[in-house]
Amino acid sequence: MSEDHDLHQQRLANLAELERLGVETYPRTFARTGTISALVAAHGERPAADLEVLRPEAATAGRILAVRTFGKANFLVLSDGVSRIQAYIRQDSVPERDFAVFKLLDFGDFVGVHGRVFRTKTNELTIWASGITFLAKCLHPLPEKWHGLQDVETRYRQRYLDLIVNPDSRRVFEVRAKVVAGIRRFLDARGFLEVETPMMQPLAGGALARPFVTHHNTLDMTLFLRIAPELYLKRLTVGGVERVFEINRNFRNEGISTQHNPEFTMLEFYQAYADYRDLMALTEEMLSTVAREAIGSDACAFGGETISFAAPFRRVSLREAAREAASRRLGAEVAPEDLRDREKAAALAARLEVTYPDGAGAGRIATAVFEALCEASLVQPTFVFDFPTEVSPLSKQRPDDPDTVERFELYIGRFEVANAFSELNDPAEQRRRFEAQLADRQRGDAEAHAMDEDYIRALEYGMPPAGGEGIGIDRLVMLLTGSPSIRDVILFPLMRPQAE
RNA sequence: GGGCCGGUAGCUCAGUGGUAGAGCAUCGCACUUUUAAUGCGGUGGUCGUGGGUUCGAUCCCCACCCGGCUCACCA
Render pLDDT for A441-463 as a digit per residue (tens, 0 to 9): 888 787 888 899 999 999 999 99
CA–CA separation, A130 vs A396, rounded Å? Answer: 71
Query: In Å, what is the CA distance from A150 to each residue of A97, A143, A302, A444, A494?
Result: 38, 9, 20, 43, 19
Q: How far apart are CA A253 and CA A168, in angstroms?
A: 31
Task: Please check the confidence at residue A24 and state whether its pLDDT lies above 50.
Answer: yes
The pLDDT-based confidence of A1 (bands split at 50, 70, 90) is very low
Q: Which nucleotides of B are covered by protein (CB under 7 A)?
A: 1, 10-13, 23-27, 30-38, 42-46, 65-75
Strands A243-251 and A193-194: parallel
User: How far is Cα A141 from Cα A9, in angstroms, rounded to an integer?
Assistant: 11
pLDDT value, residue A388? 95
State the average pLDDT over residues A93-115.
96
Specify the nucleotide whose C1' lies closest to residue A391 (CA): B74
pLDDT above 60: residue A236: yes
Closest residue, CA to C1' of B67: A153
Whether the beta carbon of A371 falls within 7 A of nucleic chain B: the reply is: yes
Could you tell me which residue, A33 or A450, shows the higher pLDDT? A33
How does residue A499 score in pLDDT terms, banded at 50, 70 and 90?
A: low
- Among chain A residues 195 through 214, which have CB within 7 angstroms of nucleic chain B? 207-209
- The region that residue A12 occupies, defined by phi over 0 for left and psi between -120 and 50 for alpha, beta otherwise, is alpha
> Over chain A, what is the mean pLDDT?
94
A149 CB-to-strand B distance under 7 Å: yes
Q: Which nucleotide is closest to the Cα of A411 by its C1'? A: B75
A114 close to A129: Cβ distance less than 8 angstroms: yes
Give the pLDDT band (50/70/90) at residue A3: very low
**Is the CB of A72 less than 7 A from some atom of nucleic acid strand B?**
yes
pLDDT of residue A180: 97
pLDDT over 90 at A412, yes or no: yes
Query: Greater confidence, A108 or A255?
Result: A108
Strand B–CB A122 distance below 7 A: yes
Is the shortest CB-to-strand distance from A377 to strand B under 7 Å? Answer: no
Question: pLDDT exceeding 70 applies to what percent of chain A?
Answer: 99
A70 touches strand B (CB under 7 A): yes
Residue A4 has pLDDT above 60, yes or no: no
Pairing of strands A125-136, A84-90: parallel
Strand B interface, A 339-368, C-beta < 7 A: 355, 368
pLDDT score, position A2: 35
Whole-number Å distance, CA A172 to C1' B1? 32
Q: Which nucleotide C1' is nearest A144 CA?
A: B11
Check residue A500 and give its pLDDT: 53
Write down the pLDDT at residue A175.
97
A188, containing H or E segment: helix A167-189
- Inform me whether the pLDDT recorded for A260 exceeds 50: yes
Å between CA of A94 and C1' of B56: 61
pLDDT one-digit tens code per residue, A356-371: 888 889 999 999 999 9
10 Å CB burial of residue A72 (0-12, 13-18, 19+) is exposed
